[in-house]
Chains A and B, each alone.
With several copies, the nearest count.
Chain A
Amino acid sequence: MVTAKRGEPVGVLSRKDFVSDQEVRWCPGCGDYSILAQTQKVMPELGIPRENIVFISGIGCSSRLPYYMNTYGFHSIHGRAATIASGLKAARPELSVWVTTGDGDALSIGGNHLLHVLRRNVDLQIVLHNNEIYGLTKGQYSPTSEFGKRTKSSPYGTIDRPLQPLSVAIGAEATFVARSIDADAHHLVATLERAYKHRGASFVEVFQNCNIFNDGAFAEFTAKEVRADRTIVLEHGKPMIFGKERDKGIRLNGTKLEVVQLGNGVTETDLLVHDEQRDDPSIAFMLSRMQWPECPVALGVLRAVDRPTYDTLMTEQIEHAIAAEGEGDLKDIFLEGDTWTVE
């Protein structure tokens, strides 16, 4: 079975090589189409043999994505993709394993597995299509639906307070945390590529529009006209500037983040400089909480720290054991403890 190092191109594959023969079946206008397209676009860039790529998903509209990728794929059961991916990656570290999931799949039924795959830092790319709704089951609220939302299952409005996927991930010791938008093809491609390049569990939340059951959930700040002023694209080592006119910034005022207008006294040097590699995740946590209208919504890589991955540690333990104790021989094990011979 072929193995390839990251980044080193193998043959010349194009986007089309990653389009499967299955007819895509999402509602016309669904944000999943774009996420699929960008995913197919990014694959050739990674320079891995196609047969070494695996997409694993749970259940949900989003979780159908693997059928449309001409790679190995596993459309598993609801909420369990991370467990299957962990086992596969542990068994076959040379594979590039991607997890496609939804807000219900990853945060409702699958919440525990998400916690643990992140803390273990299994080298996977986890892409969460967050449409703040249960799409496949036709429109019940999800753990990310806004408080008070009226849906089929909450005709009087929800009374559950939503989770912030990125805050959950950071609370679970995630080493790579990023956010993008279905409609921003360019940024999404770049984010997926960063996720792949990161060694360890990469968690990417993508705002995805469900135009049937939750249309425009993110439009307030992701709509083309307002996006520049209501979101901020974080860049490592750069001061946090945003706005159509690049005239606004984020400052850490004591214990609080605040939006400042650049000019009349306030300069770039007053702004918080984004450091995705901070060992302490607390500032990344702060950024994950930024919400419109108080703050612009943070996009891009919030956190990316280098930690040994679960799969490599597992391999190393085996190598060390063999180096130290020699290849296992069944006889030694069979004969452990006292033995005796019967003539």
Chain B
Amino acid sequence: MTTLTRESEQPEHSEVLELERVTIRFAGDSGDGMQLAGTQFTKTSAVAGNDISTFPDIPAEIRAPQGSLPGVSGFQVSFSSQEIYTPGDAPDVLVAMNPAALKTNLADLPRGGLLVVNEDEFNETNLKKAAYAANPLEDDSLKAYRLYRVPISALNSRALADSGLTAVQIDRCKNMFALGLMFWMYSRELDTTTHWIEDKFGKNPKVAEGNKAALKAGYHFGETTEMFATHYHVPKAKLKPGLYRNITGNEATALGFLTASKLAGRPLFYGSYPITPASDVLHELARFKRFGVKTFQAEDEIAAIGSAIGASFGGALALTGTSGPGLALKSEAIGLAVMVELPLVIMDVQRAGPSTGMPTKTEQGDLLQAMFGRNGESPVAIVAPATASDCFHVAIEAFRIAVKYRTPVIFLSDGYLGMGSEPWLVPDFTTLPPIDPDFATDPATFKPYARNPETLARPWAVPGTPDLEHRIGGLEKADITGNVSYDAANHDKMVRLRAAKIEKIVQDVPDLEVAGDQSGGLLVLGWGSTYGVITTAVQRARAQGKKVSAAHLRHLNPLPANLGDVLMRYDRVLMPEINLGQMRMLVRARYLVDVVGLNKVSGRPFTIAEIENKIAELVG
């Protein structure tokens, strides 16, 4: 941390400290517009050239009573001059717009952390709603923090006194005041947000002006008051050059599936039933009518996958999507898809279970359901994105496998990835390899269950193709002809063929790459949304000279061909999972390697520290 004097004419009462990375959490009532303040800060920092990572913390309740604890909504943004992979463990700065927000978020703020509160909201009623016996601003329960009491509401209304807005409208602007203050504190420009305000409220100039005024007021408050002795500057990060946008995992997923349909030249069909946290993907795809995307909001998850299987039979790029409980309902129909061997992608944005569990919280608890949640031997392929932007590429990969191998593929995302966001280097469509649907058309050679020797895939013969009329279904099929068969030897053969086909996919699975040492010491093996924390924790541990390396699985079934060899090369293997050790079990069973687990099932992602501590425990 280096102090520097700013080259500027007018005298600066406040010095500027340069920081590598800062994490801010905006917290307030659902009504306070914290998501908005957070996303605006994110965009501005991105445009300013930082690497960024964010995570919203939206209340489970639809709209809990104003000022209540369950009503608190938060948004955390981390911005840095280095590459970052997570929104940060703990905030450096907490902006608390009311007592409830303070109560629910303070525990995450490290002692010595910067705490900005809207003191105007710390009144009797709000304190009671937040179950505060005494006003924490009055007693010294906060003395461990660098507390700044700002009368945000009052200052905001004063600034907007003659804006011509109603009291309620004025109060709604106070998130902009808080945002402005943070912009000043981290030496940010206001124009990105100013433009956004103008777009958003263009039709309503008064409101637009009000918001801009509040934003400026907050900024100037920081600049002019003597309250803050220092403010900060986080320099540009060195990022891969190119055009970026901020994207959430669910957005990236929707775009990935859309792109896959373009690559295959087949329309995308999405059969789904709304469920948190997967619904966003339905909302996104429903907007893409002009791409020929067909979204079918089914009566339930069974109808959703049924419709997708029907669409796949018809030659569409068929997708169904849900979260854990919905995947359970799709179990039987996934078995049908395994038997009829049609391309199908099943998206599961995992949430905390079992049962309804905690719908808005994240988890990796559906892996074994994805692997085994069906009657009989019914293997499917499984892929899992590692980051929000990775969802785009893995979504395409899912369809690539599904179409090439004529098989259901489960796309295993989670709430943390789906709702979290990060910068996305916008890809160039023309560089992406096409997907070949390779429909059967030749009656002379057509046999419904004859297989491509290279992939073991059967032909995709869609209705409307002359002289390929045939019948498929859920009863066991005779090899080659696809007729119904109860023959004992045939069944044993088909069971093994279906398994072998999934194993064949390994030829398209890139070998597992290790970041760090290619052998010796500890290997931290992860899959899915733990990528960010594992990468960061391992980098830090290595920086401290620890002999530890990291590897990450994107293909969960089949696993990379070299996984066994890789595991053998290390003294120990650690597998952090947001479950009780589901992938660990699969790896142990397959390779008989004594993989150690780090498991946390709290509905929250791991913190970098949690992984670092475990590493320290294992390699000292």
Chain A residues in the interface with B (C-beta under 8 A): 1-3, 20, 22-23, 25-28, 49-54, 56, 59, 61, 66-67, 69-80, 82-92, 94-95, 108-109, 111-113, 115-116, 134-138, 140-141, 143, 152-156, 160, 212, 314, 317-318, 321-322, 325-328, 330-331, 333-343
Contact = CB atoms under 8 A, between A and B. Distances in A.
Contacts of A73: 469-473
A314 B37 CA distance: 38
8 contacts: A61-B62, A73-B471, A84-B310, A92-B316, A116-B298, A154-B297, A321-B290, A340-B245
A87 B245 contact: no
A141 B330 CA distance: 22
Contacts of B298: 83, 116
B80 to A, nearest CB: 14
Contacts of A341: 241-244
A27 B290 contact: no
Which 6 pairs of residues, A with B, have the shortest CB-CB distance?
A: A83-B306, A87-B310, A87-B307, A1-B464, A75-B473, A328-B291
A227 B242 CA distance: 61
Given A77-B474, A155-B286, A342-B49, A72 B463 contact: yes
A94 B66 CA distance: 41
A86 B307 contact: yes
Contacts of A54: 463
Interface of B: 43, 46-47, 49, 61-66, 68, 70, 192, 196, 239-246, 255, 258-259, 262, 267, 269, 271, 273-276, 279, 282-283, 286-292, 294-316, 318, 325, 332-333, 335-336, 340, 355-356, 426-427, 429, 462-475, 483-484
Q: State the majority secondary structure of interface residues on B.
A: mixed
B262 to A, nearest CB: 6
A54 B468 CA distance: 12
A84 B471 contact: no
Nearest to A325: B290
B79 to A, nearest CB: 13
Given A52-B464, A153-B282, 9 more contacts: A77-B333, A86-B296, A90-B311, A92-B464, A113-B302, A116-B299, A135-B62, A140-B282, A328-B290
Contact of B332 (A77, A143, A314): A77
Given A77-B325, A156-B289, A339-B243, A212 B62 contact: yes
A72 B461 CA distance: 10
A140 B262 CA distance: 27
A51 B65 CA distance: 30
Contacts of A72: 463, 469-471
B258 A330 contact: yes
Contacts of B304: 83
Contacts of B241: 341-343
A78 B475 CA distance: 12
A165 B92 CA distance: 53
Contacts of A90: 269, 294, 296, 307, 310-311
A212 B292 CA distance: 31
B307 A74 contact: no
A87 B286 contact: no
A28 B66 contact: yes
A67 B484 contact: yes
A79 B274 CA distance: 13
A87 B62 contact: no
